[in-house]
Amino acid sequence: MIPMLTSCSYSHKHWFQWAGGISFLALLCTLAGSRVLASSQEAVLEDSGPHLSDRILNYRIEVELDPLEKKVTGHEILTWRNQSGQALRDFCFHLYLNAFKNNRSTFIRESSSRPLWDGIEEIPDDYWGYTNVESIQVISDEESFRPQVIKREYIHPDDDNEMDRTVLRIELDQPLPAGEEIKFRIDFESRLPKGTRRTGWAEDYFFVAQWFPKIGVVQEGQWNCHQYHQSTEYFADFGVYDVSLTVPTDFVVGATGKRVDQRDNGDGTTTYRYLQEDVHDFAWTGSPRFLERKRRFSDPPLPEVDMTLLLLPEHRHLEKRYFTAIQHALHYYGTWFGPYPYETITVVDPAYRSGSGGMEYPTFLTGGANFWAPEKVLSPEGVTIHEVGHQWWYGMSANNEFEESWLDEGLNSWAESRVQKYAYPPSRFMRRLFGGIPFVFDSVEIPFETGSLASLRRGGQLDVMTRRGWEYLGRTSYRVNSYSKPEMILWTLERWLGEELMLKAMSTYFQRYQFKHPTTRDFIETINEVAQQDMGWFFEQTFFSSELVDYGIETATSKKVPDPKGVFDEDQQESAGSKEEEGEAEERYLTEVVVKRFEGARFPVEVLMVFEDGEEIRRQWDGQDRWRRYRVEKPVRLKYAVVDPERKLLLDIDPTNNSRYAKEEEGFSLATRKWASKWLFWLQNLLEMFAFIA
């Protein structure tokens, strides 16, 4: 039994409002236990539970950085448990840095529309990066099981590119039985590329990610170990990382996990040891220029967290804004979904043009800032909140990013815009002029959905959202389908279910699948279960369709009902108006409103008609046909008509056609309205050009 650091009798009312209140308590208890383990500095698979994750693996890595050669050299001892349920002879490893090895890799082949290193013609020799596995052998304490590696080969399970060396497969001379552990010693040398995509160096700044031979995941007896693609991210099992990094003594270092040891080697180098349990990756950084800033997140009843910010001197004025953003993020995500369970979080302010900004790793992430960073456009706040959010969506709820990128990026984009909405005033429109100086248009508020709708309009029809990351048509499609579209779907779902039910569904999903590998199916089933209704129709129109949503008012008119002419029977005369009393007859108006479905996706919508006397008439339309006409006869004219008046369908790509006046309003002519719509459109389209974040 593991001693508890904290009492597990939290009874704050708030937690019991959660769907997963009980599992949350269990988590806090487990969390307390795991913190004790961390302090013991022992990291072995045999540790008795309870653990947050299943800890299939354990990496003990010892490496040294040579900043002149841009090389990280050393070895890893990987202990791995075969939970596949069957004996295994072959093992697959990611060698991600080989994406940068030469211009024939799949990663670079796929990057033709956005070449690496800004597409420079002559690529210097030291820009290329690689991981070279010098040796790989099975080591074991038992004489009886010491298999030999009899085959090593590079495989390319995703494409026909025989030149790609991002996946290494090895074969043993005897199989590892189900349920047994195996221990590899892998000696490797990784040369870091010049920073261009997520990892590498920029002058004296080193951001070291995807840098060590990393074992794949076995699912249903098969290795899930994809090649490194230009748009895809990663997938790995949970375990323990115990990593010792030797760097020049003047380097300031930050990494995944908690620093548990530090040793001056007396030769101008220092070795830092980091330990983290229940994570699925490890990244680190070092530079002599970093300013290290520390604060403590204390926000009961959430667990306390040590926050470290590694700040470049030119951004020292952003320290407070970075920390405020981290605190907002830990507070809101922790409250909505479940507490952040790790002791540390380290945020790196990335070097200019290092390609490493806006990336997430367990307990470790990069923000991103321009020297001119106006507060009103939330930079670096936006990216920081986003990357902290990945601790929940990717870090703990660890879906396969290769195959279902929307499941972390989409959920996280929705969660991020939620935090921004609660913690900050709406962003303002900004343009950079004269080579980067920002001009903020204070009066132009940007609704949070503006950028995402613009991107949906541009690329929403390119692909069905739920497909594998490298199979999207291109970068635009990947961006739309991993970020903007799911974000807008989730906002639409939230408006459909209501905030309370949505948060209950999302926290249930998180707590059920944290430290696991959930899929789209798991997500849908959880939503249906918590909402207590089959939302299949909703997901068919969104997750599994590339059709866009656009409902609008095509026409809205009120015409005076003509004087009665012709032959009327006696019982018709009253409602038609008597011919004889023409002068005194009450004027009546026939209002006609035509609502149209301009795009392919079908949703039920509400239509609101507001009349001159203030009366409102609401009609429900199932939204299936191309259009629907409503006719109402009343003694007053229609003032205006609106489809989806509560703006539930946040996915509607063109909100400017959702309402229409029946006649000209004083001071707001048709021309003015058209101008206003055009301005909005121009603005939205402009936003498409803004760079997105990872």
Residues whose CB is less than 8 angstroms from the CB of residue 171 and which lie 6 or more positions away in sequence, other chains included: 89, 90, 149, 150, 151
Report the residue number, 281 or 409, with the smaller CB distance to Zn ion: 409
Residues paired with 407 in a beta bridge = none
**Residue 372 · residue 432 · CB < 8 Å:** yes
Instruction: Please state the closest distance from residue 288 (CB atom) to Zn ion, in A.
Output: 29
Report the residue number, 325 or 694, with the smaller CB distance to Zn ion: 694
Report the C-alpha gap between 431 and 439 in whole angstroms.
Answer: 5
Angle between helices 381-389 and 406-423 (to 10 degrees): 130
Instruction: Please state the closest distance from residue 393 (CB atom) to Zn ion, in A.
Output: 8
Report the residue number, 387 or 550, with the smaller CB distance to Zn ion: 387
Instruction: Please state the closest distance from residue 67 (CB atom) to Zn ion, in A.
Output: 29
Report the residue number, 209 or 608, with the smaller CB distance to Zn ion: 209
Report the C-alpha gap between 397 and 511 in whole angstroms.
Answer: 8
Residue 374: asked if its preceding bond is cis (omega within 30°), the reply is: no
Residues paired with 609 in a beta bridge = 617, 641
Instruction: Please state the closest distance from residue 151 (CB atom) to Zn ion, in A.
Output: 37
Burial class of residue 498, CB neighbours in 10 A (0-12, 13-18, 19+): exposed
Q: Please name which of 271, 127, 285 lies closest in space to residue 204, comparing C-alpha atoms.
A: 285
Instruction: Please state the closest distance from residue 141 (CB atom) to Zn ion, in A.
Output: 41
Q: Where are the alpha helices (DSSP H) in 268-423?
A: 319-336, 381-389, 406-423
Distances (CA, A) of 200 to 66, 67, 117, 554, 607: 13, 11, 11, 54, 54
Report the residue number, 74 or 395, with the smaller CB distance to Zn ion: 395
Instruction: Please state the closest distance from residue 306 (CB atom) to Zn ion, in A.
Output: 23
Instruction: Please state the closest distance from residue 359 (CB atom) to Zn ion, in A.
Output: 8
Instruction: Please state the closest distance from residue 92 (CB atom) to Zn ion, in A.
Output: 26
Instruction: Please state the closest distance from residue 340 (CB atom) to Zn ion, in A.
Output: 17
Report the residue number, 312 or 694, with the smaller CB distance to Zn ion: 694
Interface mask toward Zn ion for 256-275; x: CB under 5 A: --------------------
Report the C-alpha gap between 628 and 28 in whole angstroms.
Answer: 54
**Residue 302 · residue 262 · CB < 8 Å:** no
Report the C-alpha gap between 346 and 258 in whole angstroms.
Answer: 9
Dihedral angle sign, alpha carbons of residues 613, 615, 617, 618? positive
Report the C-alpha gap between 254 and 333 in whole angstroms.
Answer: 23
Report the residue number, 253 or 694, with the smaller CB distance to Zn ion: 694
Report the residue number, 446 or 694, with the smaller CB distance to Zn ion: 694
Instruction: Please state the closest distance from residue 482 (CB atom) to Zn ion, in A.
Output: 8
Q: Phi first, then psi: give them for residue 244, nearest 5 degrees.
A: -110, 125
Report the residue number, 58 or 384, with the smaller CB distance to Zn ion: 384
Instruction: Please state the closest distance from residue 394 (CB atom) to Zn ion, in A.
Output: 7
Instruction: Please state the closest distance from residue 312 (CB atom) to Zn ion, in A.
Output: 22
Report the residue number, 392 or 551, with the smaller CB distance to Zn ion: 392
Report the residue number, 642 or 694, with the smaller CB distance to Zn ion: 694
**Residue 279 · residue 241 · CB < 8 Å:** yes
Interface mask toward Zn ion for 328-347; x: CB under 5 A: --------------------
Report the C-alpha gap between 62 and 343 in whole angstroms.
Answer: 23
Instruction: Please state the closest distance from residue 110 (CB atom) to Zn ion, in A.
Output: 19
Report the residue number, 200 or 410, with the smaller CB distance to Zn ion: 410
Report the C-alpha gap between 172 and 188 in whole angstroms.
Answer: 19
Report the residue number, 487 or 688, with the smaller CB distance to Zn ion: 487
Report the C-alpha gap between 145 and 172 in whole angstroms.
Answer: 11
* Contacts to Zn ion from residues 408-427, by CB under 5 A: 409
End-to-end CA distance of the chain: 41
Torsion of CA 235, 691, 199, 366, to 10 degrees: -80
Instruction: Please state the closest distance from residue 386 (CB atom) to Zn ion, in A.
Output: 6
* Contacts to Zn ion from residues 137-166, by CB under 5 A: none
Give the H/E segment covering residue 26: helix 21-39
Q: Please name which of 169, 341, 338, 310 lies closest in space to residue 238, comparing C-alpha atoms.
A: 341
Report the residue number, 28 or 385, with the smaller CB distance to Zn ion: 385
Instruction: Please state the closest distance from residue 2 (CB atom) to Zn ion, in A.
Output: 34
* Contacts to Zn ion from residues 380-409, by CB under 5 A: 409
Report the C-alpha gap between 371 and 354 in whole angstroms.
Answer: 15
CA gyration radius, the chain: 30
Residues whose CB is less than 8 angstroms from the CB of residue 116 and which lie 6 or more positions away in sequence, other chains included: 100, 108, 196, 197
Report the residue number, 82 or 413, with the smaller CB distance to Zn ion: 413
Buried b vs exposed e over 44-55: b needs ≥16 C-beta within 10 Å? ebebeeebbbeb
Report the residue number, 403 or 409, with the smaller CB distance to Zn ion: 409
Residue in the block written with tokens 């906002």: 491
Stretch that binds Zn ion, among 46-54, 67-75, 637-645, 686-694 (CB under 5 A): 686-694
Total chain residues near Zn ion (CB under 5 A)? 2
Report the C-alpha gap between 270 and 262 in whole angstroms.
Answer: 7
Instruction: Please state the closest distance from residue 390 (CB atom) to Zn ion, in A.
Output: 6
Report the residue number, 56 or 694, with the smaller CB distance to Zn ion: 694
Instruction: Please state the closest distance from residue 658 (CB atom) to Zn ion, in A.
Output: 30
Burial class of residue 668, CB neighbours in 10 A (0-12, 13-18, 19+): exposed
In the complex, the residues that contact Zn ion under the rule CB under 5 A are 409, 694
